[in-house]
Chains A and B, each alone.
Chain A
Amino acid sequence: MSEYTSFDNKTDVLLHASSEHVLTYAEFEAQRQQAELRAQHETQPGQQSTPEIASATPLDLISQATKNVWRVRQAHLEETKDMFDLAA
């Protein structure tokens, strides 16, 4: 890389990453759709469906994923701290 690039021109790299562990955009979309279907399926009769998932904006998606990663990390820290305390 001869100069700094940001997300605005990394599309090809991002969507065609070569590592076998990296999700392709198609796989990512498939997983997202599965999650959406699962959420709709799990909605109880009489409850409002989940149109917010289908109509989520990029900001909604980023915000939710950001909070979720942070929450899981904090939960992990608490959990391992508890385990460490119990083992001590």
Chain B
Amino acid sequence: MADVFKKALKLLTGNDTTTPKLTMPKNRPFKTLTERELIQLESNIGSELFGPIPAGNRREFFNLDPTTWIWHEEWIDVDTGKKKVATTRYEVHDNGILKVLEGAKYKFIEGEELRNLTVAVQMYHERVIREVYNRDPATGEKLS
């Protein structure tokens, strides 16, 4: 399961931190973007929701499908100088939000963590639908 998860994440986000981020096409608004490219655009916004990313770090936060959110963080450990990577999957189930960590660790989130994820998801919804898809998040109508 972990390998499949890593492979999916790599396909979506790549593994090269020097790769320039995608930006919204301005001169060609009808340029066809793949789903992967759209998710990368969304993740550009998702990664901003938590404030500035420290130099050398990398963060991705995006919606993968109708039931899954991905949080991915890379940073340099100040004590060892080694790169660390953590990926968390949040699954939306009928009975709660299941947090899945690497190493087959599962937990339904609650309390402050659930509240914070709720705010993050709603902010993502608000900004992504406006800024990536140019639609009103409340009505779904196109913005002029």
Contact = CB atoms under 8 A, between A and B. Distances in A.
Nearest to B61: A7
Contacts of A81: 32
B20 interface: no
B109 to A, nearest CB: 7
B131 to A, nearest CB: 8
B132 to A, nearest CB: 8
Contact of A72 (B51, B96, B138, B140): B140
A74 to B, nearest CB: 8
B122 A11 contact: no
B50 A58 contact: no
Interface string A15-43: 11111011101001001100100100000
Contacts of B119: 14-15, 25, 28
Range of interface residues on B (Cβ < 8 Å): 35 or more
Given A1-B57, A61-B118, A17 B128 contact: no
Interface residues of A, number: 46
B86 to A, nearest CB: 4
Nearest to B67: A66
Nearest to A16: B51
Nearest to A62: B121
A31 B99 CA distance: 28
B96 A14 contact: no
A80 B33 contact: yes
6 closest A-B pairs (Cβ-Cβ)? A8-B113, A65-B125, A7-B116, A4-B86, A58-B118, A17-B51
25 contacts: A2-B78, A4-B75, A7-B113, A8-B113, A13-B50, A15-B119, A17-B48, A18-B51, A19-B52, A22-B48, A35-B138, A58-B114, A58-B117, A59-B92, A62-B117, A66-B67, A67-B66, A69-B125, A69-B128, A69-B129, A72-B133, A72-B135, A73-B38, A76-B133, A87-B30
